[in-house]
Structure 1
Amino acid sequence: MNIAYVAENMLRKVTLSIDEVEANDILAEDIFSEYRLLVKKDLVLTERIIAFLKLRKAEELSVYVPTDSVRIVHDVSVRHYEDVFAPLMGEKDEVDAYQETVSSLFKTTLENVLHELRYGQILKSNQDTAYLRGIFEKILEKKHRYELLMRLKEWDEYSFVHSFDVFVLGTIFARYLGLTDIETLARGYLFHDIGKVFIPQEILNLKRKLSEDEFEMVKTHTTKGYELLIEKGEEDIAYLARDHHERFAGQGYPSQLCKDDICEGVQLLQIVDVYSAMTSKRVYHSGYAATDALAVLYRDRHLYNEQFMHKFVECLGIYPVNSVVQLSDNRSAQVELVYDLFPTIPKVKLLDEQISMILPLNYKVKIAKMIDYRANSFEEIFNLFIEQLIRCDENSIRVYFNKLIDHLHPKEIILKIFLPAFRILRLLTKEIQIDMTKYRHSIDILKKLLEEQLDVLYKDYQHEKTIILVVETSLRENFFIKLVQSILYIDKIVPLFINPDDDLRITQLMEHCNVNVAYIIEEELTVDMKVCPLGEGTLLYYSLTDIEELLNSLVGMNMKRFSFEEKMQERLFASLKT
């Protein structure tokens, strides 16, 4: 909370018993329970949150209250994370310096990753945390492993924290599944990303999506990690570093293994690794909510062990929207809504009775197990995107847009989202189902999203070629011109715009860029010939209708295997033949 705000509003930080806090009080400190962060500071309390905290045995809360409040206040107590872990630490004077260093590393790193909103029921007891700490300390009894882990930490802090997070989630999940030799798996999970030490830091720390060349370099961390672990005498876990990005049906890397070639320890790691990466905070994104990350995993369920995914959801106790579940009273239900602050206590619809209910805070009725997941198809999400686009609800539009673009090739974003959305809006306008004011607003929002994609594309790709587009300045804001510009960027081509009123300047620019073709795009063609010589080069003429038809013809093609410039020329010369 901003100190100036507190002073201005005459608030004071005090510690109250849980029975003395009231709705609308503002939390002044994070709240921990059994080593887990329950809620963050600055949260405005509600009656439901207070009831939830009472169930979690919270006894005192630090809150901001008016300085003239008549409620009983106590001295503010300073909460140290070391105190929270005191039961696990034992007598310090009995622990040597190295062991103390390892224990400190465990508890401070656990503090960074452990939050109920993403861990759910995992590490719900002191015994679970002590079990995990024991494995961690046993792994690092050999100092070469500690040195290897510190090498990763010093090279890339995020990769280290992510590796620790995967170790925590993976180890507890492996025990939940009843897998054998858990300590060996735990060690492999801790070092699964060790190959990242060979990836340049400037690539690991990029605040944007990787280019294809950069991604190819990042992919080498699997084989390099495997080789490093072999070199360090960790042959029994090296395969986990090599194979954690493999996917069923040969859709992963580096070896395109199929289901039968991937052992259970790796199949578990694949799920946990993706979940950790999606829910973790990075410099360039705040991380998915647990339910959204699980929904993405279920959308791609064909790539993973689906039974393991069901069990992982049960282990977390966080069920994504659209989960079909069995309740503890044997009724079947579908999860309708997951609350941000109460991810393990969702709203469900009882399937037999077709009525909705919020599961009680006291867990008197809770979800017992996962039955199935009813994923929304791309088409269903696209329809919701269009619905919100018509309503001009920009926040909802962005939510559905982000779901649509996830894992799409950049060209697919253009051809499967922007182009169809524009055509639907235009069709609705022609049929007078939406008015022109709304239509223009919807198009403005769509253009805004496209401009943002253009900005990302411009930053993402190293341009290898130039193309000259002869287009009137007033026409350059046209939606189809923007789509063409986007696809050219994806093909690593820089489009240079020039006005059509000066043949000499066009010729000079063509010579300067070392190209022999320039593309003239007009709203309606004003020439009889579509191919005209100009000096040593050629002018190719297109109308906006030509461009729109060309874009439509590309839908459904393999996005990575065609050049848009080649398609422009092919279509023009094919039309001349006919």
Structure 2
Amino acid sequence: MRKTSLELLQPGIILAEDIYADQTLIVKKGTLTDSYLVEKLKKRGVTQVLALHPASELKPALMTLIQSIPSEGNTHYEQTIQDLFFGSLLKITDDKRYGISLNLNESIYLLLTYFTEIMKIDSIYSKMLQLKNNDINTFLHSVDVFILFTLLAKKMNLPDLEQQSKSALVHDIGKADLPGMLLLKQDKLTKLEFDIIKTHPLLGYDYLKGHPETAGYAELAKVHHERMDGSGYPDGLLADDLSLAARILMIADVYSALTLKRMYRAPLPAEEALATLSRDAHLYDQEVLKQFMHLLHIYPAGTEVVLTNGWTCAVKGHTPNFPYLLSLENLESGELFPIPPDLSLKVENILDWSGAEKSVSKKIRWEHFISELVSGNKEMAFTHFEALADGMRVEDIYRLILCKAAMELAQSYKDRFLSRTSLHIADDILCHILNKKRECYSSMISNRLKVMTVFIESETFHFPCMMFNDFFTANGWETVKHLGSEPQEIVDLAEKRKLKYICFTVTNKYSLATVTALADALKAINPNVILMIFKEFYTTEPIEKGAADFLASSPEMAVQRLSLLENPDFWQRHFSEKFTAADGE
């Protein structure tokens, strides 16, 4: 706490002292500032106030504690490890994420001891430094999970705390052996990229098991992405197979992932991250989650709680920068009041979090998305698209949002519920979305396969061909786009670029006739070229493949058919798994 000039005082700051003017109390300690209050204080001649600052009270206290810890007697190696711990600690800890969980003296000494002891193991130290050098964010996440896990495990009296806490620190050690370009990718992962990321629990398990001094830390590294309903990986374990340590770790891991800044997204506020965890009740141990909320003293808005004075209340909001200072409503009297800064009144128990604020349902979001496409509102359509795409793999975005939207609009057009003009407007916005996201959705893993996508002049809808082309790119293919229907020109370009696959999209009867004739001409010039016709959404005409080798009714099918021609064994395994959106980290 420090004195702050009224000129610098921001809304949402907590006053840390009673304020008097002419010996009269005008503002009580613990009051939240707003613009009205600042003007009131100025008029009463107040120039400075003592305040709790949003820069966090935790970090200055940590700095003071760190400076007080003696370094005498440490070897150079031990001091290096200690500096690494404290440097990481200062980067990740603040009131907004940790709430009231850190009892500084007791907790920091315990954490420092565990961290130093495990990092003095050469095989751990070298691999964790490799992880840090590859991706500093993943290293900081590991330290963050270690701290959160230890604090929660200690609160819940987890047996063998030291062993399990050290295991939590190295839970992501397998990521040290993953391609750095994937760890550092700032955009969504493709399914193949995510499949590679999903190998890290087993990589970590094998590495730790491979060294006698670290074998005892291997199990948590393997199971930290398992889930209570069996939907996790690598083994799809169910609740009965998951230890308390594993249940604590999965919550600490996901909370950290949601609330720390990552390459691919901004952090969520703590209360929103906890609301996300509470909504996914089938994935996480609910008693562990309740204990985690109590540890932080942060609860989602809408949660019904009992206070230490016996009142039953609903959480209505959170103090900016200090979310553990809740705004509450007494459910009996209707009175609104805040938790005092000195925490003389706190939450004692959670009654119900079913009323926790929920985001707009996917169904409603989808209806808004389709409506904005048809009405021509690009910005709102894009906003709804981003919300729908949150947490999804790239292939799922194409399949379950973009392709699905186009097919739904096409059906409305065929059923005469949608005019051709409206369909063109929607097509234009879908192209706009593809153009904005194309670079983000490209795969960083090339499979060294090439394909030419041909756009016929008679095509008036652009989205099908664009999506077809981009879906190949998202799966690691190099694509060559060509506009025109001159057979010799297409064959010459294919030979020049060493392409053996040529694909067309069909959205109307005019281009269907052109593509049919073009396929015959191309096969006459070069019988070895492989042709695919992509029957897209907007045509009602029956399609025969004629001279073409394949028909595809979706981009996914097109990629699968051609990929299987190149490497049947690998791609059969890749495509046999169901495309699903992934949670967590």
What TM-score, normalized to structure 2? 0.69
Partner of 1:167: 146
- Using the TM superposition, give the Cα deviation of residue 117 of structure 1 relative to its aligned residue in structure 2, in angstroms: 1.6
SS at match of 1:302: coil
Q: Quick one: which of 217, 240, 248 aligns to 1:268? A: 248
Is the aligned partner of 1:286 residue 2:266? yes
**Cα gap change, 1:480 to 1:156, in 2 (>3 Å):** closer
Matches within 5 A, 1:395-544: 401-419=385-403, 447-460=431-444, 462=446, 464-472=448-456, 475=459, 478-510=462-494, 513-515=498-500, 518-519=503-504, 521=506, 523-525=508-510, 531-532=516-517, 533-534=520-521, 535=524, 536=526
Matches within 5 A, 1:39-438: 45-46=10-11, 48-51=12-15, 84-87=62-65, 90=68, 92=70, 94-98=72-76, 99-123=78-102, 125-137=104-116, 139=118, 146=125, 149-150=128-129, 152-230=131-209, 231-321=211-301, 323-326=303-306, 335=315, 337=317, 340-346=320-326, 357=336, 359-362=338-341, 367-370=347-350, 371-373=352-354, 375-376=358-359, 377-383=361-367, 401-419=385-403
SS at match of 1:267: helix
SS at match of 1:470: strand
Partner of 1:546: 539
Tell me, which stretches of 5 or more residues in structure 1 are unaligned?
A: 1-14, 27-43, 59-68, 551-557, 568-578
Q: Name the aligned partner's letter for residue 462 of structure 2.
A: N
SS at match of 2:299: coil
**Cα gap change, 1:560 to 1:136, in 2 (>3 Å):** farther
- Residues 225, 238 of structure 1: 8 Å contact kept: yes
- Residues 227, 284 of structure 2: 8 Å contact kept: yes
- Using the TM superposition, give the Cα deviation of residue 496 of structure 1 relative to its aligned residue in structure 2, in angstroms: 3.7
Task: Supply the distance in 2 between the matched residues of 1:434 and 1:361 (Cα, whole angstroms).
Answer: 57
SS at match of 1:206: coil
- Using the TM superposition, give the Cα deviation of residue 185 of structure 1 relative to its aligned residue in structure 2, in angstroms: 1.2
**Cα gap change, 1:461 to 1:53, in 2 (>3 Å):** farther
- CA deviations 1:294-314 (Å, max 9, x no partner) are 344345432322322232233
Task: Supply the distance in 2 between the matched residues of 1:442 and 1:309 (Cα, whole angstroms).
Answer: 43
- Using the TM superposition, give the Cα deviation of residue 169 of structure 1 relative to its aligned residue in structure 2, in angstroms: 0.4
Q: Name the aligned partner's letter for residue 382 of structure 1.
A: W
Partner of 1:554: none
Q: Name the aligned partner's letter for residue 140 of structure 2.
A: V
SS at match of 1:257: coil
Q: Name the aligned partner's letter for residue 483 of structure 1.
A: M
- Residues 471, 522 of structure 1: 8 Å contact kept: no
- Using the TM superposition, give the Cα deviation of residue 123 of structure 1 relative to its aligned residue in structure 2, in angstroms: 0.8
- Residues 154, 161 of structure 2: 8 Å contact kept: yes
**Cα gap change, 1:94 to 1:383, in 2 (>3 Å):** same
Task: Supply the distance in 1 between the matched residues of 2:318 and 2:542 (Cα, whole angstroms).
Answer: 43
**Cα gap change, 1:365 to 1:461, in 2 (>3 Å):** same
- Residues 536, 554 of structure 2: 8 Å contact kept: no
- Residues 530, 541 of structure 1: 8 Å contact kept: no
- Using the TM superposition, give the Cα deviation of residue 345 of structure 1 relative to its aligned residue in structure 2, in angstroms: 3.9
- Using the TM superposition, give the Cα deviation of residue 382 of structure 1 relative to its aligned residue in structure 2, in angstroms: 3.4
- CA deviations 1:15-54 (Å, max 9, x no partner) are 9724xx21xx34xxxxxxxxxxxxxxxxx612x3143799
Partner of 2:3: 17
**Cα gap change, 1:439 to 1:166, in 2 (>3 Å):** same
- Using the TM superposition, give the Cα deviation of residue 286 of structure 1 relative to its aligned residue in structure 2, in angstroms: 3.3
**Cα gap change, 1:470 to 1:367, in 2 (>3 Å):** same
Q: Name the aligned partner's letter for residue 519 of structure 1.
A: F
Size of the alignment, in residue pairs?
A: 510
SS at match of 2:233: coil
Partner of 1:31: none
- CA deviations 1:181-237 (Å, max 9, x no partner) are 211111111122222332343443333444444444433332332233331412322
**Cα gap change, 1:396 to 1:136, in 2 (>3 Å):** farther
SS at match of 1:250: coil
Task: Supply the distance in 2 between the matched residues of 1:330 and 1:424 (Cα, whole angstroms).
Answer: 53
- Using the TM superposition, give the Cα deviation of residue 436 of structure 1 relative to its aligned residue in structure 2, in angstroms: 13
- Residues 121, 317 of structure 1: 8 Å contact kept: yes
Task: Supply the distance in 1 between the matched residues of 2:474 and 2:154 (Cα, whole angstroms).
Answer: 45
Task: Supply the distance in 2 between the matched residues of 1:504 and 1:200 (Cα, whole angstroms).
Answer: 42
- Residues 30, 340 of structure 2: 8 Å contact kept: no
Q: Name the aligned partner's letter for residue 202 of structure 2.
A: T
- Residues 208, 460 of structure 1: 8 Å contact kept: no
- CA deviations 1:133-187 (Å, max 9, x no partner) are 3443455576775566445444543333222111100000111222122111111
**Cα gap change, 1:130 to 1:469, in 2 (>3 Å):** closer
Task: Supply the distance in 2 between the matched residues of 1:470 and 1:114 (Cα, whole angstroms).
Answer: 53
- Using the TM superposition, give the Cα deviation of residue 333 of structure 1 relative to its aligned residue in structure 2, in angstroms: 5.6
**Cα gap change, 1:307 to 1:73, in 2 (>3 Å):** closer
Task: Supply the distance in 2 between the matched residues of 1:109 and 1:273 (Cα, whole angstroms).
Answer: 16
Q: Name the aligned partner's letter for residue 195 of structure 1.
A: G
What TM-score, normalized to structure 1? 0.70
Q: Name the aligned partner's letter for residue 482 of structure 1.
A: M
Quick one: higher RCO (CA 8 Å, sep 6+), 1 or 2? 2
**Cα gap change, 1:414 to 1:226, in 2 (>3 Å):** closer
Q: Name the aligned partner's letter for residue 546 of structure 1.
A: T
Q: Name the aligned partner's letter for residue 166 of structure 1.
A: V
**Cα gap change, 1:474 to 1:173, in 2 (>3 Å):** farther
SS at match of 1:545: coil
SS at match of 1:320: coil
- My pick for the range that moved more, 218-227 or 534-543, is 534-543
Tell me, which stretches of 5 or more residues in structure 2 are unaligned?
A: 19-28, 33-44, 51-56, 544-552, 563-585
Q: How many percent identity over aligned positions?
A: 24
SS at match of 2:504: strand
